[in-house]
Amino acid sequence: MAKILIVDDDYDFVSGVKTVLESADHEVTAAYSREEGMKLFEQEEPDLIILDVMMDEPDDGFTMAQDLKRKHAKASVLMLSSVGQVTGLEFDKDDEMVPVDAFEEKPIMPNKLLEKVKELLNN
């Protein structure tokens, strides 16, 4: 039972993730852009943020993750993106450029998502 903010511009994906997370009794709010995401982050103070990368700008997710780090956000961040497949490059978390708690490639199996969420919430 946690507050989760999902930031992703794919409405279908958001509603899918929402259903899965709500079935595990989490409270989910959704933002569809980086700006909206930052606003809701301030408002809602979520425990966990699920963050896409390519939104209005192809690097929005990275920028937001870096901003969150600058703000010393307490929430864990799960970066969930298909940026690797789309660009043909490899991505993963790191301390500097991709300062998130976990990086997962889309698509993701629902049980794996729940597992990952649980793991991050327990930390």
Residues in contact with other proteins by CB under 8 A are 9-13, 16-17, 20, 54, 57-59, 62-63, 66, 69, 80, 82-83, 85-92, 94, 96-99, 106-110, 113
In whole angstroms, the minimum distance from the beta carbon of 69 to other proteins comes to 8
Which of residues 43 and 85 has its CB atom nearest to other proteins in the complex? 85
In whole angstroms, the minimum distance from the beta carbon of 71 to other proteins comes to 13
Phi, psi for 4 (deg, rounded to 5): -125, 135
Three-state secondary structure call for residue 17: helix
Peptide bond into 58 cis (omega under 30): no
- What is d(CA 29, CA 109) in angstroms, rounded to the nearest whole number? 20
In whole angstroms, the minimum distance from the beta carbon of 95 to other proteins comes to 10
Which of residues 42 and 58 has its CB atom nearest to other proteins in the complex? 58
Which one, of 81, 88, 109, lies nearest residue 7 by Cα?
81
Which of residues 33 and 66 has its CB atom nearest to other proteins in the complex? 66
Which of residues 6 and 45 has its CB atom nearest to other proteins in the complex? 6
For the chain, first and last CA: distance in Å? 14
